[in-house]
């Protein structure tokens, strides 16, 4: 479903501190699978993840999503594609402080302008599904790490995306919570979602549900592809 | 130069607008020169982000321009007691040779700005920004006009000598005087009315055609402009007479006064908005041949054209109503 | 269309909650903004109110006043002129007027003494303006003693106190009968201070004024519209000067707004980064910021204008009173009739909201173009 061919990403182009984070990667990610990008920090796996998830545009090379070329799209349209196709769970969850759990979950849908009551119902249902429905009215700063991550997952799923992307999802969790997270991932896969993760945590990449492991090193694919 | 707050506000804001538009035009020049949508280079990314700044600046400034157009007329209206012979805005605009050119420039800028905003709106829906060069070239046309407008307006205000004896609507729009205004006023009411309603019918037909077939855009745009001008001529030549219920008072500004229930606003606001939308819809319609706009443009053009027809229809309705309720009889029998 | 409106509602909703989360930061901006609007609006409302009052008063005055000039100075007019003026075509009526000034050394104030045309007063009776009544602490039936031109003290009984809706002109007024007036100032029966003409057709005032000067070359006709014009330009000029003086404050405010808008805290930057990462587009962020500006501007504008309105029309402009009105010892208690003028509101909007908006465009844009993947780095 997602195909990268000869993708490069250069930062600070033309400046003395020019830095090539991704140096020509070709890769195909299948739908309904769980893919893990593995590699040490600084290997370029997060940059690769942001390219796959349309958060950034490659400096060169092509990215296609279900056959449609994305690499030449301006940010305005890329965002639209991203909002409908991808849901993101960030390493530090990145919830907005001062807002309630429910508001945080609803936030990604605002630019599309859905009907408020429908959106609210949907958000509440998601929260119920992940066992935190009772906390809908709480401010997010009162949540524990595991709860915050579930809120982040609900937020990622509010626009009903095909693909869930998570960057180092277990970095801030203990082993028990990490296992619970992988359980959620398995559940999502059963529902037909595609999941892409980055991690160097064995709980993640060694989990039996993972379909494919890709190792990234120095901006290139080292193995598994 | 009279030192009133309204004049200071108009002058200052028009120069700020010039500054902002020139800033935007400068960016636009860079965009036009280095634009390469296929590239993923950082420069292209920066240029794309610049386009947001340009659009934002222009949206704000053009909104201000519209308010400034109203304020300009309104200010002229209120200054009329300060000039000997001036009874309304006409007299104040007549005080020196820059008053009317300022107004005309403001109207031209209004139409071009409206067109730019519509182009921008459509362009933002095409995934490869197909109109980038067109709209920024148009901006390069608008920028000097905005500057000229600010300059002429400043000249107008600086040269407003309070002891000048000016001539007001009574003499400017009188059938016996000379000049365009007088000729408009001197139009025989019957042919003028036929032209007025005839143009409406033509525009409606062309509008229906455009809505049904999606073609005939340029004709619709042209007709919108013609209707706009015919309507202005009609207001001077006979509509105003019905409003004032006087067979010789042809002023296009006095209709804005409270004594006539501010009916002028109901004339001009739909007329200006409708004509601008019609012009935009007509100009945009042929762009449906652009690949990336194929799927989006039809709806938008229909919406603009439909809204234009509604607004212009509203104008015609208000004008007709004003004539019907009047006690004045212009056409015998 | 519905989606469009809903989208704006979401953005406004987010903006409001984001503003409330940063109360202290925004409160400062809001206070300064409101203060600027308040100052400008007060000055404009106040001077405009003076202008309007003057207009209302002048509306009742005659269209044409004829004064006699002797050696370049205003002199008394002989009554014979009246007959000749009445003969001019288009003159509806002509009256002689009697008025003058009197300096009262006791309270160190100037009074205006006037013989009213529409009110016959008994000998020894006067009607006084509210200002005069206040300074002398007088009411109906009290006596006011003035020193006449021949040095004799003249006791006058107060028959009434004037209550004008805005005392601006009547505060220092003393009305008295013609006989008393002539005795007081020692003016002969055949002379008037000046003459007032009523004209049949207002458009002919100028022609009639010309005829008057031709008939009596030693006179000076004064047109009401000319006085109005002078008032208008003087008051506009006054407002303009104040605006110019305040333009420094507006500029400072714009710079302050610029600074506030560009100096985003780390927290705010993080928030915008998150919004962009979870699917908000650059123009959504710009729109959200637009609503933020609109909310702040609208609150400041309405708040400032309302305060100014109360200050000028119900608080008697107490902050400026001594500065703007201090030409007379007898302060008129100036309670102008409240009004809202469209041009003025629009002007005020241009002078405050527009600079704020212009100053914040670039900072807003700069905040909005943050990389969506910034939060992942």
pLDDT, one tens digit per residue, over A47-75 is: 999 999 999 889 889 999 998 888 888 88
* Residue B5 to residue C351, Cβ atoms within 8 A: yes
Question: Chain C residue with minimal CA distance to A109?
Answer: C279
CA distance B284 to B290: 11
Q: What is the pLDDT of residue B158?
A: 92
Question: Are the CB atoms for C227 and C58 separated by under 8 Å?
Answer: yes
Confidence of residue C37 (pLDDT cuts 50, 70, 90): very high
Confidence of residue C245 (pLDDT cuts 50, 70, 90): confident
Reported as half-sphere exposure (CB side, CA atoms, 13 A), residue B87 has a value of 15
Confidence of residue C10 (pLDDT cuts 50, 70, 90): very high
* Residue A76 to residue B124, Cβ atoms within 8 A: yes
Taking chain B (333 residues) in runs of 10, the rounded mean pLDDT of each run is: 84 94 93 86 88 93 91 88 80 89 95 94 90 92 96 94 75 74 80 91 92 87 94 90 84 84 90 95 88 86 93 95 85 57
Contacts with B167 (C-beta within 8 Å, 6 or more apart), sequence order: B85, B91, B94
Q: What is the pTM of this model?
A: 0.85
pLDDT tens track for C355-374: 999 999 999 999 999 888 88
Q: What is the pLDDT of residue C169?
A: 64
Burial classification of residue C195, based on how many CB atoms lie within 10 Å of its CB (0-12 exposed, 13-18 middle, 19 or more buried) = buried
Mean pLDDT, rounded, for C237-252: 85
* Residue A76 to residue C281, Cβ atoms within 8 A: yes
Q: Which residues pair with A196 in a beta bridge?
A: A35, A165
Question: Chain C residue with minimal CA distance to B23?
Answer: C362
B193-202, B322-331, C178-187, C252-261: the lowest-pLDDT one: B322-331
* Residue C4 to residue A49, Cβ atoms within 8 A: no
**Structure-token match 């979870």, residue found:** C278
Question: Are the CB atoms for A163 and A85 separated by under 8 Å?
Answer: yes
Question: Does A73 lie at the interface with C, CB-CB under 8 angstroms?
Answer: no
Question: Does B183 lie at the interface with A, CB-CB under 8 angstroms?
Answer: no
CA distance B33 to B35: 6
Q: Give all strands (DSSP E) within chain C, no chain letters.
A: 64-70, 73-75, 77-78, 91-97, 99-104, 109-114, 125-128, 143-147, 153-161, 173-176, 191-192, 194-199, 219-223
pLDDT tens track for A108-167: 999 999 999 999 999 999 999 999 999 999 999 999 989 999 999 999 999 999 999 999
Confidence of residue C102 (pLDDT cuts 50, 70, 90): confident
Task: Determine the 3-state secondary structure of C137 from DSSP.
Answer: coil
CA distance B114 to B105: 14
* Residue B42 to residue A72, Cβ atoms within 8 A: no
**Structure-token match 């044409």, residue found:** C64
Mean pLDDT, rounded, for C192-207: 83
CA distance A165 to A172: 16
Question: Chain A residue with minimal CA distance to B36?
Answer: A72
What element of type H or E holds C280?
Answer: none
Top-ranked range on mean pLDDT: pick from B289-293, C51-55, C281-285: C281-285
Reported as half-sphere exposure (CB side, CA atoms, 13 A), residue A146 has a value of 13
Chain C residues whose CB is inside 8 A of the A111 CB are 7, 10, 279-281, 284
Closest CA to C372 of C285, C283, C273: C273
Question: Are the CB atoms for A57 and A4 separated by under 8 Å?
Answer: no
CA distance A89 to A107: 14
Dihedral sign of CA atoms B104, B105, B108, B110 in order: negative
Count H helices and E strands in chain A, helices first: 7, 10
Distances (CA, A) of C204 to C58, C63, C89, C209: 19, 11, 10, 9
CA distance B95 to B85: 10
The residue among C68 and B40 whose pLDDT is bigger is C68
Question: Are the CB atoms for C284 and A111 separated by under 8 Å?
Answer: yes
CA distance B58 to B52: 10
Chain A residues whose CB is inside 8 A of the C274 CB are 94-96
Neighbours of chain B (3+ CB pairs under 8 A): A, C
CA distance C30 to C298: 10
Complex prediction ipTM: 0.93
The two tokens of residue C183 are 């005795």
CB-nearest partner of C277 from A47, A55, A110: A55
Closest CA to C280 of A40, A96, B30, B154: A96
- Tell me which of 1.20.1050.10, 2.40.40.20, 3.40.50.620, 2.102.10.10 is the CATH number of domain C63-222: 2.40.40.20
What does DSSP assign to residue C191? E
CA distance B220 to B312: 13
Residue A74 maps to which CATH number?
3.40.50.300
CA distance C44 to chain B (A): 8
Dihedral sign of CA atoms B20, B22, B25, B29 in order: negative
Longest dimension (CA), chain A: 53
Question: Chain A residue with minimal CA distance to C13?
Answer: A110
Chain B residues whose CB is inside 8 A of the A77 CB are 127
Question: Does B291 lie at the interface with A, CB-CB under 8 angstroms?
Answer: no
Q: What is the pLDDT of residue B181?
A: 79
CA distance C184 to C145: 12
Reported as half-sphere exposure (CB side, CA atoms, 13 A), residue C44 has a value of 30
CA distance C325 to C332: 9
Dihedral sign of CA atoms B133, B135, B137, B143 in order: negative
CA distance B288 to B286: 5
Q: Which residues pair with A37 in a beta bridge?
A: A198, A214
CA distance C357 to chain B (A): 8
- Give residue A148's domain range: 2-223
Q: What is the pLDDT of residue C51?
A: 78
Question: Chain A residue with minimal CA distance to C373?
Answer: A55
Task: Determine the 3-state secondary structure of A104 from DSSP.
Answer: helix
Question: Does B124 lie at the interface with A, CB-CB under 8 angstroms?
Answer: yes
The two tokens of residue B219 are 């004709």
Percent above pLDDT 90 for chain C: 27
* Residue A103 to residue C17, Cβ atoms within 8 A: yes
Longest dimension (CA), chain C: 99
What element of type H or E holds A23?
Answer: strand A19-29
Q: What is the pLDDT of residue C200?
A: 81
B128-142, C9-23, C244-258, C335-349: the lowest-pLDDT one: C335-349
CA distance A223 to C341: 76
Q: What is the pLDDT of residue C164?
A: 62
Confidence of residue C330 (pLDDT cuts 50, 70, 90): very low
Distances (CA, A) of C250 to B12, B60, C244, C263: 12, 19, 10, 20
CA distance C5 to chain A (A): 8
CA distance A181 to A213: 18
Confidence of residue A29 (pLDDT cuts 50, 70, 90): very high
Count of structural domains, chain A: 1
* Residue A110 to residue C280, Cβ atoms within 8 A: yes
A28-42, C169-183, C330-344: the lowest-pLDDT one: C330-344
Question: Are the CB atoms for A212 and A35 separated by under 8 Å?
Answer: yes
Domain coordinates in residue numbering, chain C: 10-58+230-376, 63-222
Question: Are the CB atoms for B270 and B191 separated by under 8 Å?
Answer: no
CA distance A56 to C208: 81
Chain B residues whose CB is inside 8 A of the C282 CB are 49, 52
Distances (CA, A) of B156 to B72, B100, B103: 11, 9, 11
* Residue C372 to residue A112, Cβ atoms within 8 A: no
What does DSSP assign to residue C310? I
Would the pLDDT of C31 be above 90?
yes
A21-35, C23-37, C82-96, C164-178: the lowest-pLDDT one: C164-178
Distances (CA, A) of C48 to B75, C52, C316, C340: 14, 6, 14, 10
Q: What angle do CA B326, B329, B333 make, to 5 degrees?
A: 130
Distances (CA, A) of B7 to B3, B155, C236, C256: 7, 12, 10, 25
Residues B196-203: contacts with CB under 8 Å, at least 24 apart: B196/B230, B196/B231, B196/B234, B197/B316, B199/B223, B199/B226, B199/B227, B199/B230, B200/B227, B200/B312, B200/B316, B203/B227, B203/B278, B203/B309, B203/B312
Q: What is the pLDDT of residue A110?
A: 93
Q: What is the pLDDT of residue C327?
A: 46
Question: Are the CB atoms for C347 and B5 separated by under 8 Å?
Answer: yes
Q: What is the pLDDT of residue C233?
A: 76
Mean pLDDT, rounded, for C236-253: 85
> What residue spans of A61-214 are helical by DSSP H?
75-85, 101-106, 116-129, 145-157, 175-190, 202-205
CA distance C42 to C319: 9
């Amino acid at each position: 479903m997602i195909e990268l061919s000869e993708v490069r990403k250069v930062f600070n182009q033309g400046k003395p501190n020019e830095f090539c984070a991704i140096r020509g990667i070709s890769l195909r990610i299948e739908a309904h699978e769980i893919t893990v990008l593995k590699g040490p920090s600084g290997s370029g796996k997060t940059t690769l993840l942001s390219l796959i998830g349309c958060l950034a545009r490659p400096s060169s090379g092509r990215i296609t999503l279900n056959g449609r070329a994305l690499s030449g799209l301006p940010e305005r349209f890329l965002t639209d594609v991203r909002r409908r196709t991808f849901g993101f769970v960030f390493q530090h969850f990145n919830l907005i402080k001062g807002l309630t759990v429910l508001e945080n979950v609803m936030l990604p849908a605002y630019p599309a302008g859905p009907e408020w009551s429908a959106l609210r119902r949907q958000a509440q249902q998601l929260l119920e599904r992940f066992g935190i429905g009772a906390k809908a009215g709480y401010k997010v700063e009162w949540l524990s790490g595991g709860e915050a991550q579930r809120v982040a997952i609900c937020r990622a799923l509010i626009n009903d995306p095909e693909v869930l992307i998570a960057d180092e999802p277990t970095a801030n969790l203990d082993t028990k919570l990490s296992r619970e997270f992988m359980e959620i991932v398995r559940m999502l896969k059963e529902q037909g979602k595609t999941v892409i993760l980055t991690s160097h945590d064995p709980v993640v990449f060694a989990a039996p549900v993972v379909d494919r492991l890709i190792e990234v090193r120095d901006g290139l694919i080292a193995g598994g592809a | 130069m009279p030192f009133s707050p309204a004049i200071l506000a108009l002058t200052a804001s028009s120069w700020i607008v010039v500054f902002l538009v020139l800033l935007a035009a400068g960016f636009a020049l860079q965009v036009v020169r280095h634009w390469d949508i296929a590239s993923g280079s950082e420069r292209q990314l920066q240029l794309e982000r610049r386009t947001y700044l340009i659009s934002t600046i222009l949206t704000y400034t053009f909104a201000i321009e519209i308010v400034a157009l109203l304020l300009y007329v309104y200010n002229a209206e209120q200054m009329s007691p300060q000039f000997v012979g001036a009874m309304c805005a006409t007299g104040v605009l007549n005080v020196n040779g820059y008053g009317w050119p300022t107004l005309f420039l403001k109207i031209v800028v209004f139409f071009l700005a409206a067109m730019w905003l519509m182009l921008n709106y459509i362009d933002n829906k095409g995934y490869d920004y197909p109109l980038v060069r067109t709209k920024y070239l148009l901006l390069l046309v608008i920028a000097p006009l905005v500057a000229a407008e600010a300059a002429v307006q400043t000249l107008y205000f600086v040269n407003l000598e309070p002891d000048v004896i000016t001539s007001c609507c009574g003499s400017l729009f009188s059938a016996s005087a000379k000049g365009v205004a007088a000729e408009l006023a001197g139009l025989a009411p019957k042919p003028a009315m036929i032209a007025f309603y005839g143009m409406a019918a033509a525009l409606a037909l062309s509008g229906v055609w455009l809505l049904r077939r999606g073609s005939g855009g340029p004709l619709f745009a042209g007709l919108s402009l013609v209707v706009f001008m015919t309507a202005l001529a009609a207001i001077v030549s006979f509509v105003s007479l019905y409003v004032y219920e006087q067979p010789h008072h042809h002023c296009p500004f006095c209709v804005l006064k409270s004594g006539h229930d501010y009916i002028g606003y109901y004339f001009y606001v739909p007329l200006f908005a409708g004509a601008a939308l019609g012009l935009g819809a007509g100009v945009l319609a042929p762009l449906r041949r652009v690949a990336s706009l194929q799927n989006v443009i039809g709806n938008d053009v229909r919406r603009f054209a439909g809204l234009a027809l509604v607004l212009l229809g509203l104008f015609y309705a208000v004008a007709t109503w004003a004539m019907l309720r009047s006690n004045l009889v212009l056409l015998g029998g | 269309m519905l989606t469009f409106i809903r989208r704006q509602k979401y953005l406004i909703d987010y903006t409001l909650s984001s503003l409330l989360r940063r109360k202290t930061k925004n409160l400062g901006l809001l206070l300064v903004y409101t203060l600027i609007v308040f100052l400008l609006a007060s000055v404009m409302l106040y001077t405009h109110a003076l202008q309007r009052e003057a207009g209302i008063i002048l509306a009742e005055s005659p269209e044409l006043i004829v004064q006699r000039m002797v050696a370049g100075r205003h002199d008394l007019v002989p009554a014979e002129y009246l007959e000749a003026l009445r003969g001019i075509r288009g003159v509806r009526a002509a009256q002689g007027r009697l008025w003058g000034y009197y300096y009262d050394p006791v309270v160190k104030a100037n009074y205006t003494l006037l013989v009213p045309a529409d009110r016959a007063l008994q000998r020894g009776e006067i009607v006084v303006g509210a200002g005069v009544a206040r300074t002398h602490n007088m009411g109906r039936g009290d006596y006011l003693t003035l020193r006449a031109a021949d040095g004799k003290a003249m006791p006058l009984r107060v028959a009434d106190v004037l209550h004008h809706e805005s005392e601006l002109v009547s505060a220092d007024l003393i009305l008295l009968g013609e006989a008393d007036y002539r005795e007081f100032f020692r003016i002969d029966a055949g002379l008037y201070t000046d003459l007032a003409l009523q004209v049949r057709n207002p458009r002919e005032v100028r022609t009639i004024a010309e005829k008057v000067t031709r008939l009596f070359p030693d006179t000076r006709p004064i047109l009401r519209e000319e006085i109005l014009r002078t008032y208008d330009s003087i008051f506009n000029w006054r407002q303009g000067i104040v605006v110019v003086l305040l333009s420094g404050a507006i500029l400072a405010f714009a710079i302050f707004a610029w600074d506030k808008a560009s100096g985003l805290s780390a927290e705010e930057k993080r928030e915008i980064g998150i919004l962009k990462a979870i699917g908000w587009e650059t123009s959504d962020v710009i729109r959200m910021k637009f609503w933020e500006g609109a909310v702040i501007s609208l609150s400041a504008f309405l708040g400032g204008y309302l305060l100014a309105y109360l200050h000028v029309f119900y608080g008697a402009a107490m902050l400026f009173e001594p500065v703007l009105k201090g030409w007379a010892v007898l302060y008129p208690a100036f309670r102008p009739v409240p009004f809202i003028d469209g041009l003025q509101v629009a002007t005020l909007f241009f002078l405050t909201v527009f600079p704020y908006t212009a100053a914040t465009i670039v900072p807003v844009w700069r905040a909005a173009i943050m990389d969506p993947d910034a939060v992942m780095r």
